[in-house]
Chains A and B, each alone.
Chain A
Amino acid sequence: NAGVTQTPKFQVLKTGQSMTLQCAQDMNHNSMYWYRQDPGMGLRLIYYSASEGTTDKGEVPNGYNVSRLNKREFSLRLESAAPSQTSVYFCASSNYGYTFGSGTRLTVV
């Protein structure tokens, strides 16, 4: 099925560990995004990529890095995880309307 695929779906990390969240879309969209969702906070933009080869900071970029590997793939990296990064992470892609992945539930202990 066409859409946005995120891996993994669940992850538990220890403080200080690193990991990369993967996202791939097969809709030939130009723009891709990473959001985090926290209770009572809605979705907040971490980073986005307007097109292949470009990335920009969103509202809450600290502690994260991203890579737009090609048009299909946009990864989010946590270099040294902190408990404050416990959240649900959503990847999305768009040419106009947004399509969201099913999310990665990350817990940092």
Chain B
Amino acid sequence: AQSVAQPEDQVNVAEGNPLTVKCTYSVSGNPYLFWYVQYPNRGLQFLLKYITGDNLVKGSYGFEAEFNKSQTSFHLKKPSALVSDSALYFCAVRDVNSGAGSYQLTFGKGTKLSVIP
């Protein structure tokens, strides 16, 4: 079974400071990893994904994430936070070997990011 942990329910950061939202995962095989963002009363929007290759993945809106296989982590980062980054962030994992033609994602419980002006 695959699982995702987001250890922080909420992260507060001052505008202009770097931000990190943490994610660790567990899969039996190799992982596909994703970050999604949800603004109030909206659906989930894709930010970035790790499939293979470079451990540092760059995504939308200046976000990036670093895949660390030994620590089974995929933390989301941004060098300089904006107030408009305030939202709910979800990490998700799929086992590369999940079959039957269906790509089931397992989500973490979400981390609320608040960027303070």
User: Which residues does A use to contact B, with CB under 8 Å?
Assistant: 4, 30-31, 33, 35, 40-45, 48-51, 56, 58, 90, 92, 94-103
Contacting pair A94 B103 (CB below 8 A): yes
For residues 86 through 117 of chain B, which have their beta carbon under 8 Å from a beta carbon of chain A? Answer: 90, 100-110
B10 to chain A, nearest CB (A): 11
Cα–Cα, bound, A1→B46 (Å): 17
A42 interface neighbour in B42, B49, B107, Cβ under 8 Å: B107
User: Which residues does B use to contact A, with CB under 8 Å?
Assistant: 9, 34, 36, 41-46, 49, 90, 100-110
Contacting pair A102 B46 (CB below 8 A): no
Contacting pair B90 A101 (CB below 8 A): no
Query: Across the two chains, which residue of chain A brings its CB closest to B6?
Result: A42
* A-B pairs with beta carbons under 8 A, tally: 58
Query: Across the two chains, which residue of chain A brings its CB closest to B108?
Result: A42
Contacting pair A97 B43 (CB below 8 A): no
Inside 8 A of B103's CB, which chain A residues have their CB? 31, 94-96, 98
Contacting pair B109 A102 (CB below 8 A): no
Inside 8 A of B9's CB, which chain A residues have their CB? 40
Contacting pair A97 B49 (CB below 8 A): yes
Cα–Cα, bound, A90→B45 (Å): 12
Contacting pair A40 B43 (CB below 8 A): no
Contacting pair A103 B109 (CB below 8 A): no
Contacting pair B101 A41 (CB below 8 A): no
For B36, B49, B102, the residue with the greatest tally of chain A CB atoms inside 10 Å of its CB is B102
Inside 8 A of A103's CB, which chain B residues have their CB? 41-43
Given contacts A90-B44, A101-B43, 6 further A-B contacts (CB under 8 A): A41-B109, A45-B106, A49-B102, A51-B102, A92-B44, A102-B43
